[in-house]
A and B are shown apart, each in its own frame.
Chain A
Amino acid sequence: MSPSPRARPIDIDTLWKLQRVGNVALAPDGSAAVCSVTRFSMDENKSSASLWLLPGDSCAPRQLTRCGDTDGKPSWSPRGDRIAFLARREQEGRKDAERQLYVIPLAGGEAERKSDFAPGIDDFKWMPDGRSIAFVSWVWPDARGARAQGQRHKAFNERKESAYVTCEPQYRHWDRNLPMGCAPHLLLLDLESGRVVDLLEGTGYELPRADPCAAHFDISPDGRRIAFVHDPSPRKVAGNVFAIAEIELARRRIKPVTDDAAWSYEAPRYSPQGVLACIASNLGKRHTMPGRVAFRRGGKWQLAQMDRDIDVEAPLRWSRDGASIFFTAQERGRCHLWRCGTESGALSIAVAGGWVHGFDVGGAPGDATLLVALDCAQHAVQVHAVRAGQASRLERFNDEVLERVALGETREVTFRGARGEPVQMILTFPPGFDARKRHPVLHVIHGGPYAAAGDTFAYRWNTHLFASRGYVVAAVNYHGSSGFGWRFADSIVGRQGRLETQDIEAATDWLAKQAWVDATRLFASGGSYGGFLVAWMNGHVAAGRYRAYVCHAGVFDRVATFSADSYSQRPKDLGAFYWENPARVRAQSPVTFAHRMQTPTLVMHGANDYRVPDTNGLAYYNTLHARGVPTRLVWFPDEHHWILKPRNSRLWYREFLEWLAAHAADRKARGRG
């Protein structure tokens, strides 16, 4: 797609005009797809998600649902005549308090509410007979039956006390407390009668507590068994090793199907022929170990002999004939859809990224169709169907908006970073980049650290938006980043901050040598782990090297961050509990180096951030203030780790850009390249 001559650099409002495509699902016969499309209103500061049917065959997409604004997770019925989805709606005078299941017939008519389960439905899969669904819900483990669940739910919601009381080691996730006193269970809903049966009631089993979802279970093709992921440890805590058990539906008997306590088994998936696959990682050996595909054959698990050092992501999906299994995995700043031969283990890229955000596999065995939702640095997510190697695009949701936008080029650069190893950097140039002019540089440092900057189109930290103000934007895949093999990711454990900063500094050195870089106007910004790194840099990089930093939701104090939802994971990254080896933890904590911090920093944080609690941002801001370093705080009372509301996002970008602009214009603050 080439921009029209009237194209202009992207601005914040245009970014929010883009429709975000997600939850792609392919009809069982591969003939059509459904997806969810979220649109935003900057005026109303609201989002609205509805389902669209993508008929393929060059027919225009059709909006399928319009009666709600939270329609998501569409799933085709086994016969392809209905689509079930989750929504909170008002129907027949009743408003859903929690998400319920709705079913819309493809042949015509509106979606009908099919569940009335008080705790709501978090995720689901169709049973093969199309008459019921298996679903995930947070239930009261000691209440028996849907009625009792409803009573407990009502009583809890109507209580006057607001306190959260728990003995659980894992009780909050991301931006919310886990439902107090509840456990995630697997249940069955009969669509005709609305009757709900809790498959785990009274068994002591529960699904993983962090975002329990449909990837945590799978239904055998004959509908007789369900394999599900659970945490076998009595002490459920993030980072535990997971196991898979199988429930035999007729007798409601549960038996384990994994037996190696050193390995974590996740994302079970039955082949159409009934072979169970999963993602297994040897977490007992090292918490950074990658996910690998495993098959259960003859009662034993066998790892697919894959010849690439990639980290397999959930979900897995089988081809109809059971000869291949598909999944996404990152490689060098891209996320591809991979095909793995189930016998040979031979790996190939089925659909190359950019970045594949979602996919589905369907169609007849001889006429397999792949559906992918993928983006790249140059466009937002598009939906493609790939049949016999031929890709056809199914929608044009954002073409009209993007045609009016000029996006700068992106370029991949490899330089020598820490330990003399090659490190990847992705540069985004301003539209109409003129190499004869000198440009200011902005580092956008990704979070994680086990993540990567890549060939993708972001809504938060959109590099084009920064570049549109004249910056060359540098995104370094520093040591620790995902997609560069296990050793690279694991290299930073126990010494966080050190190699990463060396990488970024090496990148800056490389940049400063380019004729098109104004080495006196360098900036660095980052969120989460990237925020940690800019705070770290403030205490380690010579003052004046960067004119200013932007630190969003950054880790400032390692000890205080033991309040995070992920507190049980971090000691593994740091190589110690802070009470066992305080010096080691202190050495990886920016707060330790506060006395050296001199570079002006914009600090931004959301109050509902349980991943990096906002005390980090506040302490950082207070510290800089106390030290007389220019700083500014943007604190969002109603946002979490990410800033997701349109108006808040606009403010975030504006504050970010104005902070850079103010310091770029400050002649006194001469940088040293």
Chain B
Amino acid sequence: MVKPFTPEDLALFQDLGQLDVSSRGVAACVVRSVDMAQDGYVSTIWTFPLDAAPARRFTLGTSGENCPRWSPDGRTLAFVSPRDGLPQVHLIAADGGEARQLSHLRFGVGSIQWSPDGTKLLATCALPLDPDSGEAAALADEPRSPDAPEVAWRVPYKSDGTGYLLARAFHLCSIDAATGEDTPVTRGAFDVMASCWSPDSTRIAYVRTREGREAHRTDLWIANADGSEARQVTRDYASVMSPRWSPDGRWIAFAAGREEGDAQTRLHLFEVASGDARQLGDDDMEVGSPDSLQWKRDSRAVILVVATRARQHIVAVSVDDGRRRDLVTGDRHIAEVRATGGTLAYFSESATTPRELYASNLDGTGERKLSSLNAWWDDRLALVSEVRTFRVPDGRGGFENIDAWLVRAKGSEAPQPLLVEAHGGPNSFALLGFPWNTYWNALCSKGWAVVVPHAVGSTGFGRKFAERLNGHWGELDFPQFMAVVDALQADGIATDHVAIAGKSYGGYLAAWAVGHTDRFKAAIVAAPVANLESHFGTSDGGYYSQPYVLSAERHIEPERYRKLSPVNHIHHCTTPTLLLQGKDDQRCPMGQSEELFAVLMRCGKAPAELVLYPGGDHHVYETGKPSHRLDIVRRMLGWLERWCPPPDRGQTT
């Protein structure tokens, strides 16, 4: 029997991540399910033979399995698990038997990678530092107490989700795959963010932060496998990600952002012999997932997930001419990919289908679904989504076309109440994972339509389109949002029951909207950027991104910061507004919501509520405690039904 989607469905959802495929053609990934009883999650590793032999839950230890990595011969799966307290490397045979602990690192292990010869694992480890040692980066004997003072002598000193940064450093160590013996590879006043092996296992490439006041920048380094003869090989990028050494040893592919604060990421190539680095592919090709980068076996192309017009696709980019060949496409998001032999394995999800594991031939043909972890979805009221194009003002007196997802229940009757969703970023695009959008599904089942415009500033539509919003937050994109609403009402798709919701930059836009129009019957503002001046100093990345995205330094053009801050317009608000905020959000800290709320309470008459989630970070909505997530979705639905009730109840505000 077909049932409506409900907020409680979030407990049924099983999420897949951290895909790896063995040389023997077996995919491994982490499956994360919700444990409502413990108000947490259970992560186990599953295996899926690509030849469609039965899927198998492979590990069942405690609950926090992570980072599955097949040994090069495909006989052993390494993974990280806190089975005995600290996260350590464990090995499990591909053909039977339970895992044994390999590493015994004093402070545990983050992520791991096999050397191509299978003798070692390169591990990223968090080592405790004495924060008072500053640039000297003296190692501490013990991890710091959570109550210890947090001294800062540089930015960044905190990070959303992690908290205080200066009492630990990420470094590489090498773990012998036979004995588990570990030896340090890097040491110093920097963090290693990513790494890879050379194909002959003699060298490593890694991405590390700079020392001192430029610690927010990252560069590519190369060293011998033992860490000796380390040398910096890139200098001109603000951020480098996901280095991948080509099988022939000639290249290192990586993703990078050129300018500080620019969230757009491009594919680059470093030639090991010459030391030259260059961009690969055209400037409009947005890397959708840096982690997805990998080489084709012949070293002549890089396969990766790109973000393109609100979708994420798998493409191959030729090293010779930078030409891009689409492999796996469609109105959907590909989240990760692994190319092995003649097969691509990847996660696919869309607004209408849950994330599952798929496989196809290398050219994208012969697609087949390998996992059915979310079969419950099939019993729900089906969704349909489409990418609709809207003609909207371009802010220069003319018009341009933008794309938007329009999601509805199958067979719903227009016109419908409409939720306008503003995506985060703004240099990003709408993510389609169910944990992000649980309320879309529930709303659609209740007869709503959801529209997600990709207004100016969105990435995946060319560099210029993204950059045009710089310095014009709200000013350029808000009118485009309103044009989308106008069009949907004119087309008879939406009633005048229209609400707006958004998280992060989406929260900015929703707050901006209700300060500038009365058209919305209700608004939901989650984890917003509200006051650009205070956000600059209190967000973990405010000082870094804002000068770029506002095209203005705070101390030189404070007026622009003020003018573009929703908090300075919210006193005009007449729209019932629900504010949802993680109390430990360091990206868009609690104060942003509090400032909006105080103005709404003191200067406006519109109903408003502020809900704080203790311990919640910037991603409490997607990855927070299940009880918080459930509360968020229920409150959102409740707020919309209260202030924007469906017409069939005969109520209007």
Kindly state whether residue B38 has any CB partner on chain A within 8 Å: yes
Kindly state whether residue A661 has any CB partner on chain B within 8 Å: no
Kindly state whether residue B59 has any CB partner on chain A within 8 Å: yes
Asked whether, in the complex, the Cβ of A66 is within 8 Å of the Cβ of B56, the reply is no
Q: Which residue in A66, A109, A113 is a CB contact (below 8 Å) of B58?
A: A109
C-alpha spacing A90/B84, complex, angstroms: 11
Kindly state whether residue A111 has any CB partner on chain B within 8 Å: yes
Kindly state whether residue B275 has any CB partner on chain A within 8 Å: no
C-alpha spacing A113/B60, complex, angstroms: 9
Number of A-B contacts (CB under 8 A): 74
Given contacts A92-B35, A93-B38, contact A67 B56 (CB under 8 A): no
Determine the chain B residues whose CB is within 8 A of the CB of A92 once the complex forms: 35, 42, 44, 60, 62-63
Kindly state whether residue B155 has any CB partner on chain A within 8 Å: no
Determine the chain B residues whose CB is within 8 A of the CB of A111 once the complex forms: 60, 98
Kindly state whether residue A63 has any CB partner on chain B within 8 Å: yes
C-alpha spacing A63/B93, complex, angstroms: 10
Given contacts A110-B59, A110-B61, contact A93 B42 (CB under 8 A): yes
Asked whether, in the complex, the Cβ of A93 is within 8 Å of the Cβ of B35, the reply is yes
Kindly state whether residue B57 has any CB partner on chain A within 8 Å: yes
Q: Which residues 73-131 of A sit at the B interface, judged by CB distance below 8 A?
A: 90-93, 104-113
Given contacts A108-B56, A110-B59, contact A63 B96 (CB under 8 A): no
CB proximity of A37 to chain B, nearest CB, Å:
13
Q: Mark B10-45, 1 if CB is under 8 A from A, else 0.
A: 000000000000000000000000010010101010
In the complex formed, the residue of A with least CB distance to B44 is: A92
Kindly state whether residue B106 has any CB partner on chain A within 8 Å: no
In the complex formed, the residue of B with least CB distance to A90 is: B62
Q: Which residue in A64, A107, A109 is a CB contact (below 8 Å) of B57?
A: A109
Kindly state whether residue A65 has any CB partner on chain B within 8 Å: yes
Determine the chain A residues whose CB is within 8 A of the CB of B35 once the complex forms: 92-93
Q: Which residues 589-644 of B sit at the A interface, judged by CB distance below 8 A?
A: none
Kindly state whether residue A351 has any CB partner on chain B within 8 Å: no
In the complex formed, the residue of B with least CB distance to A65 is: B98
Determine the chain B residues whose CB is within 8 A of the CB of A105 once the complex forms: 56, 96
Q: Mark B83-109, 1 if CB is under 8 A from A, else 0.
A: 100000000111111111000000000
Asked whether, in the complex, the Cβ of B47 is within 8 Å of the Cβ of A108, the reply is yes
Determine the chain B residues whose CB is within 8 A of the CB of A93 once the complex forms: 35, 38, 40, 42, 62-63
In the complex formed, the residue of B with least CB distance to A105 is: B56
CB proximity of B556 to chain A, nearest CB, Å:
53
CB proximity of A88 to chain B, nearest CB, Å:
14
Given contacts A92-B35, A93-B35, A93-B42, contact A62 B96 (CB under 8 A): yes
Kindly state whether residue A53 has any CB partner on chain B within 8 Å: yes
Q: Which residues 43-86 of A sit at the B interface, judged by CB distance below 8 A?
A: 53, 62-67
Determine the chain A residues whose CB is within 8 A of the CB of B96 once the complex forms: 53, 62, 64, 104-109
Asked whether, in the complex, the Cβ of B100 is within 8 Å of the Cβ of A66, the reply is yes
Determine the chain B residues whose CB is within 8 A of the CB of A67 once the complex forms: 60-61, 83, 98-99
Asked whether, in the complex, the Cβ of A108 is within 8 Å of the Cβ of B60, the reply is no
C-alpha spacing A109/B68, complex, angstroms: 13
Tell which of B38, B83, B97, B100 has the most Cβ of chain A within 10 Å. Answer: B97
Determine the chain A residues whose CB is within 8 A of the CB of B62 once the complex forms: 90-93
In the complex formed, the residue of A with least CB distance to B38 is: A93
Q: Which residue in A64, A90, A107, A113 is a CB contact (below 8 Å) of B98?
A: A64
Tell which of B40, B57, B61, B94 has the most Cβ of chain A within 10 Å. Answer: B61
CB proximity of B252 to chain A, nearest CB, Å:
34
CB proximity of B347 to chain A, nearest CB, Å:
21
Given contacts A92-B42, A93-B38, A110-B92, contact A65 B60 (CB under 8 A): no
Determine the chain A residues whose CB is within 8 A of the CB of B44 once the complex forms: 92
Tell which of A63, A93, A109, A113 has the most Cβ of chain B within 10 Å. Answer: A109
Q: Mark A584-606, 1 if CB is under 8 A from B, else 0.
A: 00000000000000000000000
Q: Which residue in A90, A107, A110, A112 is a CB contact (below 8 Å) of B99?
A: A110
In the complex formed, the residue of A with least CB distance to B63 is: A93
Q: Mark B368-381, 1 if CB is under 8 A from A, else 0.
A: 00000000000000
C-alpha spacing A111/B100, complex, angstroms: 13
C-alpha spacing A279/B98, complex, angstroms: 38
CB proximity of A505 to chain B, nearest CB, Å:
55
Determine the chain A residues whose CB is within 8 A of the CB of B60 once the complex forms: 67, 91-92, 110-113
Q: Which residue in B57, B63, B83 is a CB contact (below 8 Å) of A112?
A: B57
Determine the chain B residues whose CB is within 8 A of the CB of A53 once the complex forms: 96-97
Asked whether, in the complex, the Cβ of A104 is within 8 Å of the Cβ of B61, the reply is no
C-alpha spacing A64/B99, complex, angstroms: 9
Determine the chain B residues whose CB is within 8 A of the CB of A104 once the complex forms: 96, 98
Asked whether, in the complex, the Cβ of A62 is within 8 Å of the Cβ of B97, the reply is yes
In the complex formed, the residue of B with least CB distance to A55 is: B96
Determine the chain B residues whose CB is within 8 A of the CB of A90 once the complex forms: 62
Asked whether, in the complex, the Cβ of A109 is within 8 Å of the Cβ of B59, the reply is yes
C-alpha spacing A74/B61, complex, angstroms: 19
C-alpha spacing A53/B83, complex, angstroms: 23
Given contacts A62-B96, A93-B62, contact A109 B42 (CB under 8 A): no
CB proximity of B24 to chain A, nearest CB, Å:
11
C-alpha spacing A113/B63, complex, angstroms: 13
Determine the chain B residues whose CB is within 8 A of the CB of A109 once the complex forms: 47, 56-59, 92, 96
CB proximity of B329 to chain A, nearest CB, Å:
34
Determine the chain A residues whose CB is within 8 A of the CB of B58 once the complex forms: 108-110
Given contacts A108-B58, A109-B57, contact A64 B63 (CB under 8 A): no
A and B contact pairs by CB, cutoff 8 A, 8 listed: A63-B97, A63-B98, A64-B98, A91-B61, A105-B56, A107-B95, A110-B57, A110-B98
Known: A63-B97, A105-B96. 17 other contacts (CB 8 A): A63-B98, A63-B100, A66-B97, A67-B60, A67-B98, A67-B99, A91-B60, A91-B62, A92-B42, A92-B44, A92-B63, A93-B62, A104-B96, A105-B56, A109-B96, A110-B60, A113-B60
* 5 nearest A-B residue pairs (beta carbon): A109-B58, A66-B98, A110-B60, A109-B56, A110-B98
Using a CB–CB cutoff of 8 Å, the interface residues on chain A facing chain B are 53, 62-67, 90-93, 104-113
